[in-house]
Structure 1
Amino acid sequence: MTLSYLNLVGNAELVKQLNYAMIYRLIIQQSPISRIQLAETSGLAPASITKITRQLLKKKLIKEVDIQQSTGGRPAVSIEAQFENYQVIAIQLGRTSVNIELYDFGGNSLVFQRYPLTDFTQRLAQNYLINLIELLCSEHSKKIKNLVAISVVMPGVIDSVNGIVRYTPHIDVKNWPLAEVLKNKFNVSAFVGNDVQSLALAESYFGSTQNVADSILIRVHRGVGSGVIINHQLLMNHNQSACEVGHIQVNPLGERCHCGNFGCLENQVVNAEVEKKAKRLLEQGYVSKLTPDQCDIVTICNLANQGDDLAQKLIKNAGENLGRAVAMLVNIFNPQNIVLAGEITKSPEILLDTINSALNSQSLKQLRENVSIHCSTLNDCSAIGAFALVQQSLFNGSLLMTMLEDKK
């Protein structure tokens, strides 16, 4: 009897959370929108819409606006989202630097700062992050009306549900409860997540995949990471990870990877590997405008765009290997969009042509026909992925309910 009652209460609270989240999401995505339109689109009763919008108005998450009727007469009252009253601190904890940004609820960056990362133990990195957050709050206090969340993303295995960093390649951690530490220190909601998975989420909220349900983002940098979006949701498993695309074997005769396999995608296309191949080919006598002292990935891409044969050869080689992996992902997931990010996308035409050629020869025709492959429209070096975790918590209602229950 008691368990049944608790289940009913729990279900009622969940339904309430989902209803509030649905209405808030509709207002953001379709504003300006009337209460009648909200009721028709959501299927909720007009009385429920009135109650929900009243609470959102009270917290200044939305506002009423007058929309003039096309036939003249009295303007109709509609609703649109209000972003400027709440702020979020988003952090990208990279291997050598920390990008820290202040966002409003509309995803508008109000402050961007970059600092070097020189502390690689859990305790020192944690203290450093706290100091940077305190510094941002102090220096930009006039821009912070209501700080409601702090979000941190980084490479590695991240338990985003419990806010724990299980493993990150550049900091020695042991089940680092970073979200709990930040929540207790700053008295706000806190989130942690994998950087590339979060970037895929950001692409679906703010970038080129907003209007598709299924997409995959692949980022090539020091490693190769990916994030899979299925039916507008980030694909996760019991270990808070999915689709380790960097360890797909694309060259059985390639060098041994740190994972133990040979010829992994990561060993073929990361920036350092492309740069190493460039130096090796220059030593073999290839004629190019590249030099041993100037063959970084950005220079390679720029010269490839200018027609340099060696630079184009390097980009095409990377594209062929990426294409093999992309073809496998298309055969498995059949996404609508595949998005590429990272420095190598600075030579988009050559890269995409090569990938599409590999896709056409290595995937099922019926699956590849409606797939669009393009480069990301977002700055993958920003902290937009960290902000996307906050947006996700608003859209699923968890952060939204926390804010509505706050008596302040």
Structure 2
Amino acid sequence: MDTKQVVNIDQVKQINMAAVYRLIDKLGPISRVQIAQSSQLAGASITKITRQLLEAGLIAEVSQQQSTGGRRATSLMSRPHFRLATVRLGRGILDLAMYDLTGQVHQKESHTLGAQTQEQLLPELIDYIGTFLEKQHKNKPIALALTLSGLVSPSNGFVIYAPYYELKQCPLGQILEQQFKLPTYVGNDTRAMALAEHYFGQSVDISDSVLVSVHHGTSAGIIIDGQVFMHRNRDLAEIGHIQVDPLGERCHCGNIGCLETICSNPALLARARKLLSQGSISKLKPTDSIEVLYQLAAQADELCEMLVRQAARALGKTLASVVNLLNPQVILISGEICLAQAIVFEEIHKSISHQALSSFAQQLEIRAAHYQNNPTVGGLALIKRAMLNGELLMQIIEQHSH
């Protein structure tokens, strides 16, 4: 027999298990007959899969559907009671939360981190996560997820590069999994946030979307056909390092005039302070926060509005190229920049309508992201994905059967 024709039985099991669970999760209450009709799987396979899911507590039988003459069909629904531990590693801050599968938060806390290098970070991280998990003695989570800014290989939780903590070639997923004995998922925070919007937020039921996050830097997460867009398991969409001004300022990446040098919170504040020191008139004070700058822009403060329009035009120019490449249905904007939403969206719309294909631009919607101040929800999305693709389902079922 040709080895190419040898089917990986475990893989088929996982695919079938995931297909049944997804239908129950999305359409429940749903009968086994309806699952068979939608999945094209044999009745015997569905009976076996649903039995395993029931025994592991992943789904539940609920009130019977209206009889059509024969025996009443029992409906099935997914059970959201499982707890999921999520961590967001930010710049000098650690956010932790406990969710259930519907996205409801049951506990959350934040800590300031003193660490600045990989050697300092790992013990501090393990200590805080360990203490948080110990508090969950009654509701032990089924999985752990961590998101951070930087380049990550999501298949194995390997952090290729995370600038703030000098993390390089760090097997973070493996370290956490060994330490806490939980299935662990590590991913880029913006890509994970795009997925969270797709599962629970502003792009539910939309197959193709782009999330742009404007914070300390500018990054994007692309969803194509309901999946995070990646190539050979590598992160894509580093739009912050697309050149928008060849005569601009040097970026920390080494290049000149990247989008981040114009459209990011530090870039806007730096430019505002420089202009204020040169005598520009504004209600903005040099010590004011980025939130104040955006709020003043929305209130038509001349200097602040000029800076925000400039940043939004640069972002729109970059997004026009993204629209031409990918033709998304929706672009979501995340960050404090949404405090000046009317100005920002107007400039983005203008840039896209001038520079993108008109048939693409006309059908495009721009929305503020739903999750603006919920840093841990990206981790929830990574665990939800592992449930829906069958990876975590299989682990839970295997644990239950032992």
Partner of 1:56: 53
Q: Does 1:344 pair with 2:371? A: no
Whole-angstrom CA distance in 1 between matches of 2:271 and 2:174 = 44
Tell me the equivalent position of 2:380.
387
How far, CA to CA, are the matches of 2:34 and 2:359 in structure 1? Answer: 38
1:139 maps to 2:135: yes
Q: Secondary structure at the match of 1:147?
A: coil
Q: Is contact 1:208–1:376 with CA below 8 Å preserved after alignment?
A: yes
In structure 2, the gaps of 5 or more residues are none
2:6 corresponding residue in structure 1 = 8
Deviation per CA, 1:312-360, whole angstroms, max 9, x where unpaired?
Answer: 2222111111100110100111111111111111221111111101111
2:302 corresponds to: 309
Following superposition, the deviation at residue 72 of structure 1 comes to: 12
Contact 1:68 1:74 in 2 (8 A): no
CA pair 170-260 structure 1, distance change in 2 beyond 3 A: closer
Within 2, Cα distance between the matches of 1:200 and 1:370?
A: 20
Distance 1:67 1:352 in 2: 48
Stretch of structure 1 that moved more, 387-396 or 122-131: 122-131
In the alignment, which residue of structure 2 is the partner of 1:25? Answer: 22
* 77, 84, 91: which one aligns with 2:87: 91
Counterparts of 1:349-364 in structure 2 under 5 Å? Answer: 349-364=342-357
Q: CA deviation at 1:158?
A: 1.0
2:41 is the alignment partner of 1:44? yes
Segments of structure 1 that go 5 or more residues without pairing to the other structure are none
CA RMSD between the two structures:
2.2
Deviation for aligned residue 1:246: 0.5
Taking the aligned partners of 2:110 and 2:69, their CA distance within structure 1 comes to 52
What is the distance in 1 between the residues matched to 2:39 and 2:363?
30
Counterpart of 2:396 in structure 1 is 403
Give the % identical residues: 39
Which of 73, 76, 79 is the matching residue for 1:79?
76
Distance in 2 of aligned mates of 1:83 and 1:321 = 42
Confirm or deny: 8 A CA contact 1:337 1:372 kept in the other structure: yes
Q: Do 2:216 and 2:264's aligned partners in 1 also have CA atoms closer than 8 Å?
A: yes
Amino acid at match of 2:80: F
Trace 1:316-331 onto structure 2 (pairs within 5 A): 316-331=309-324
2:126 corresponds to which residue?
Answer: 130
Match of residue 221 from structure 1: 215
Matched, 1:170 2:167: no
Residue from 175, 186, 189 that aligns with 1:195: 189
Correspondence list, 1:201-240, <5 A: 201-238=195-232, 240=234
Deviates more, 1:372-381 or 1:193-202: 372-381
User: Is 1:109 the equivalent of 2:105?
Assistant: yes
CA contact (8 A) 2:14 2:391 kept: yes
Q: Secondary structure of the equivalent of 2:63? A: strand
Q: Hey, what's the Cα distance between the residues in 2 that align with 1:168 and 1:268? A: 22
- 2:75 alignment partner, SS class: strand
Kindly state the Cα deviation for residue 385 of structure 1 after the two structures are TM-superposed: 0.8
Distance 1:93 1:307 in 2: 35
Q: State the Cα deviation string for residues 114-173 of structure 1 (Å, max 9, x = none).
A: 11111123233111121112211223423x1x4221111111111111221111101133
**Could you say which residue in structure 1 is the equivalent of 2:265?**
271
Partner Cα separation in structure 2 for residue 75 and residue 379 of structure 1: 45
SS of the equivalent of 1:141 reads coil
Aligned length: 401
Q: CA deviation at 1:96?
A: 1.3
2:176 is aligned, of 170, 178, 182, to 182
The range that moved more, 343-352 or 64-73, is: 64-73
Q: Distance in 1 between matches of 2:244 and 2:206?
A: 28
**Cα distance in 2 between the residues matched to 1:91 and 1:124:** 18
2:147 maps to which of 150, 153, 172: 153
Deviation at 1:259, TM superposition (A): 2.7
Tell me the distance in 2 between the aligned counterparts of 1:187 and 1:7. 35
Structure 1, 318-327 or 171-180: larger mean CA deviation = 171-180
Question: Residues 246, 293 of structure 1: CA spacing in aligned structure 2 closer, same or farther, 3 A cutoff?
Answer: same
For 1:405, give the aligned amino acid.
E
Distance, in Å, in 2 between the alignment partners of 1:241 and 1:39 is 36
Seen in structure 2, the aligned counterparts of structure 1 residues 330 and 100 have a Cα distance that, compared at 3 Å, is same
Q: Is the 8 A contact 2:154 2:233 kept in 1?
A: no
Q: Amino acid of the residue matched to residue 8 of structure 1?
A: V
Q: Shift of the alpha carbon at 1:239?
A: 6.3
What's the CA shift for 1:188?
A: 1.3
Deviation of residue 73 (structure 1)?
12
Q: TM-score scaled to structure 1, two decimals?
A: 0.92
Alpha-carbon offset, residue 289 of structure 1? 2.0
CA distance in 2, matches of 1:254, 1:67: 66
Contact 1:66 1:75 in 2 (8 A): no
